[in-house]
Amino acid sequence: MVKNQHSQSVLVVEDDQKVRNLIKIYLLRDGYEVIEASDGWEAKKKIETLHPCILILDLMIPGIAGEEICRWVREDMKSNMPIIMLTAKASEKDKINGFKLGVDDYVVKPFSPEELMFRIEAVLRRAAARCGILRIAGFTIKLTERQAWIDGEKLDLTHFEYIILQTFMQHPGQVLARDQILAFIYENDEKVVSNRTIDVHIKHLREKINNKSPKNYIQTVRGMGYKFVAQ
């Protein structure tokens, strides 16, 4: 499981304390800030005041029903805050109704906590991409500003180093040959970079990353190219 390094806040709306505690354990393990609510009224107040990054929402909760909370977020607040429904309602009709309300994902109880963590990460990544932000492992890049951070610390990258890092982050775990990396650079520049120069840029990029974090994110695959490993 890739650890989240940005302390993004997750509001867990669930009236079963045991389920809340289970989700909380896994969220804290992966570096998230956890906000809890046991009913719809408390959930609504915390959404308004604390502005969580993502909402994990049970449908059958006291006070205001989960469906109404979702409708309020989308229609009244006009918010695109990611919402994952976590519910025992498992019929196809229930799922369709959930997506019609604007949820980003639908998880049925009983559920796997590990799977829920991956779904949270995937939904947050898609939401960030819509805003021009790409996050993976400890890295964050703002596509519009062409800036990059690792574990909250800004990386001072050259033009080509930034493009290479963005390319790696968009293809995690995939072995990229030097020619493939060059192809991404050519989308932005004419052929002013050679295979040999790619190695130099990656060497400098590694050094800048290693100054901030000791982890070996960019790995050499002998005879093939490079691979970005999200640890």
Show me where the domains of the chain are located.
9-130, 134-228
What pLDDT was estimated at residue 1?
A: 39
Name the least confident of 17-21, 132-136, 175-179, 210-214: 132-136
pLDDT of residue 61: 93
Cβ atoms < 10 Å from Cβ of 213: 16
Between 99 and 185, where is the model more confident? 99
| Band (231; pLDDT cuts 50, 70, 90) | low
Position 50 pLDDT exceeds 60: yes
pLDDT at 128: 75
Which two three-digit tokens encode residue 202?
């990656």
Sort strands 83-87 and 105-108 into parallel, antiparallel or unpaired. parallel
- The CATH code of the domain at 9-130 is 3.40.50.2300
What sign results for the dihedral spanned by CA atoms 110, 115, 120, 123? negative
Residue 142, pLDDT above cutoff 50 = yes
Strand partners, 155: 148
Q: Where are the beta strands (DSSP E) in 19-80?
A: 33-37, 54-57
How would you class 176 by CB atoms within 10 Å of its CB: exposed for 0-12, middle for 13-18, buried for 19 or more?
buried
Residue where the block lists tokens 């607040």: 77
**134-228: which CATH architecture?**
Orthogonal Bundle (1.10)
Quickly count: other Cβ atoms within 10 Å of residue 64's Cβ: 17
Asked if residue 192 has pLDDT above 70, the reply is no
Q: What angle do CA 59, 65, 70 make, to 5 degrees?
A: 75
Q: Is the pTM of this model over 0.95?
A: no
**Whole-number mean pLDDT of the chain?**
87
- 36: helix, coil or strand? strand
Q: Which of 231, 221, 228 is nearest to 205 (CA)?
A: 228
| Integer-rounded Cα radius of gyration of the chain | 21
Q: Quick check: do 9-130 and 134-228 share a fold? A: no
pLDDT of residue 230 exceeding 60: yes
Q: How confident is the model at residue 134 (pLDDT cuts 50, 70, 90)?
A: confident
- For 111-121, write each residue's pLDDT tens digit: 999 999 999 98
